[in-house]
Structure 1
Amino acid sequence: MNMMGSALERAAGSKMKKMVEALTSNRFKEVLVGMLVTMFILFYQSNCQSCRICDSSRRG
């Protein structure tokens, strides 16, 4: 995990740093970005869980 993290940091570290700085330059942007990321994660998790429920009901 550490090796992958350091490789990712070397590959896109400066670009990611600039992007994060731009997205969090003021409090309003910070809150908005946090809400969007949280919504995306929750939406993805709910879709994955519903797929598992549908797959298990089809099997049996």
Structure 2
Amino acid sequence: MKPLVGSFAAVSIAFAASAADTTLHSFKKQQLEKHYWSEGAMFGDLNRDGKPDAVFGPYWWEGPAFT
């Protein structure tokens, strides 16, 4: 019986914790290139300047200039 009560308590806490996040996210569509190269883009600090850079197909853009 104790494992059942412990499992129920853990599941209840997990549901309560996940219900607390009600932040709505919004996104802005941004076209980086007029030609289609790939379905998505990747972001990371490629040149180690502390700002995110964008990689799309065979190209990459230094951030934050692409915004």
TM superposition score normalised by structure 1: 0.38
Larger radius of gyration: 2
Relative contact order higher in (CA < 8 Å, ≥ 6 apart):
2
Higher strand share: 2
